[in-house]
Structure 1
């Protein structure tokens, strides 16, 4: 079984009771909302990753105000030709405040839309688990930077 680890950094941007989310399409074409952010490039600091990814996916510039914590998840999934992948995602989650730029959609990237959503409407969205984990870190601010979520 092929194994891979991906380290990524994401931003939780909340203002006026709304959270900024980006939408990406799963391999089967199903859209899901996620936190803006993504994979670190080799040699890139995660702090810089958040700035770059938020700008690419939403058009906004941000100021990072806190490191909320780390979300780690392991997924085993089937791939083509009967192969399987054991994927370990390590996701650094930052709190960020929008300081500039204008909301726009990414073109030619991993997302196709960005939008502000009311916090109380997030539960009704088709979303990845990272959204709930990030909002949980933002809301609860656990001292160790880790939520006690069942996986």
Structure 2
């Protein structure tokens, strides 16, 4: 049997928005079950990741924001089979930013891959069903703040 292998690269930008010990998350409904994710998503062709993260923040949460720093880039490779049995050689790049909220009002996205946005205490997110990039990004965010306080 001849297997078809398709390569797919997805570049996405995500926002870590933390205020007063709370983190802003969106509920992703595009997978096998609803899970919490950082506001963000895929870049459109030719779009700068910094523009994409702010566009996605507004689309998914209703908030506007300002990038305060680049946290890092996370690369992952995940070959898997699709519904037709073909192998999809998936490579994802996530550009992760710390973002400060500058305006807007919380609202839920409709007709897309997320259906709601909510603030959660950082101390309580361990009990949520999270997409893996939340933990990756929070690790980068915590490392930044740990480094800043150790320099004092």
TM-score normalized by structure 2? 0.89
Pairing of 1:23-62 with structure 2 (within 5 A): 23-28=27-32, 30-62=33-65
Q: Any idea what SS the aligned residue of 1:109 has?
A: coil
Give CA deviations for 1:76-102 in whole Å, capped at 9, x if unaligned: 222122112111110000000011001
Aligned equivalents of 1:59, 1:102: Cα separation in 2: 5
| 1:122 Cα deviation from its structure 2 partner | 1.0
User: When the two structures are aligned, how many residues end up with a matched partner?
Assistant: 141
Counterpart of 1:147?
A: none
Aligned equivalents of 2:8, 2:50: Cα separation in 1: 22
Say whether residues 1:13 and 2:17 are aligned partners: yes
Say whether residues 1:96 and 2:99 are aligned partners: yes
The list of structure 1 runs, each at least 4 consecutive aligned residues, that deviate by more than 3 angstroms after superposition, is none
Does the aligned pair in 1 maintain the 2:30–2:114 contact within 8 Å? no
Give CA deviations for 1:11-40 in whole Å, capped at 9, x if unaligned: 000001000001111433x10000000000
> Which of 117, 122, 125 is the equivalent residue of 2:125?
122
Give CA deviations for 1:45-76 in whole Å, capped at 9, x if unaligned: 11100110000000000010000101111112
Aligned equivalents of 2:69, 2:118: Cα separation in 1: 22
Q: Any idea what SS the aligned residue of 1:52 has?
A: helix
Q: Any idea what SS the aligned residue of 1:81 has?
A: coil
Cα RMSD, aligned residues only: 1.2
Question: Which structure 1 segments of 5+ residues have no match?
Answer: 143-151
